[in-house]
Structure 1
Amino acid sequence: MKRLLEILLEHTRPVLLILGFCLVAGSYAYKTMPLEAEPDVIIPIIIVEMTHEGISPEDAERLLIRPMEKELRSIEGVKEMTANAREGVGTVVLEFEAGFDNKAALEDVRSAVDIAEAELPEDTDKPRVQEISFALFPALVVGLSGDVPERTLVQLARNLEDAIETIPAVLN
């Protein structure tokens, strides 16, 4: 290590030349690199939700989740599968390996759900398949406070909401 430092201190011109080149190359890359305000990040999670009015969590697990899990296990690229049963609802969450093809995975999940749907009880609503996307989450959260009446704050909030929604790139 000491020898390396001695060499660098003896040859200051090449060291400064390399440092200057790195600074110029870094500045050029920074200026020309494309930037996105809201990049489309693909989250490797797909959710299957089944609803059946009045079904208990135990029955939801037995009658809704188990048949669905049986079919969903055949899908390739699934990293982890978790299920949750609540009153009237059964949910299966599929987490895929990084770098998955979201369109193919969504198609595979929908096919498996269609097959498993035949094993679900008759009164069960059609299962919903949802892909998690950052576009579903708000990118802007605004809080208003002040020494004014609540009615004034509500009116300001509505005006601000209307103003933000008029921006072309903002989804309502």
Structure 2
Amino acid sequence: MRLDARPSLAGVVLAGGASSRFGRNKAEELWRGRTLLDWSVAALDPLCSAVFVSGQDHAGRESVADRPRAGLGPLGGLAGAMKAARDRGYTRILSLPCDTPQLPEGLLASLIEQGSAYIAGCPVIGIWPTAKADQLAGWLADDQSRSVRVWAEATGAKPLDPGVAIININRLDDLTDLESR
């Protein structure tokens, strides 16, 4: 555990997407000498006692499977990570996609001060109580919406406006544009 990590908090990098708009596995794409996945792990590391990776294997990190089954998008990855974190005694989990390598300063730290919340413009960035792991798996098993925003709203999570746009890498051009900033 890092000295500044919170003992009850785990993190997860959601990296299981098909990268269809990107054209290849964007989690492994390099930006400024590190993979996009590494940028997300590095953002979570100082804040979380453990960091899981959903949808990919990553050296030194525990990979978690989607729950209740594969192919459910970010919510399936979040459901799997919530259960893994809960089973290890963590009460909350901070989620981050693998494609947001440049986060506003202090964004994640301010997010973890909330109970259950998400970034309004990028709802896969959120803080979630692991006690809702079975509720989320049930939601998905019942074929409810796979939208993180819809599930978050249904569970009373608070939308937060960071006041700046979150840069999300969906296409190769997005990465090129980010490099020119």
Shared fold (TM-score, shorter chain, > 0.5):
no
Larger strand share, 1 or 2: 2
Normalised to the residue count of structure 2, the TM-score between the two structures is 0.28
Greater CA radius of gyration, 1 or 2?
1
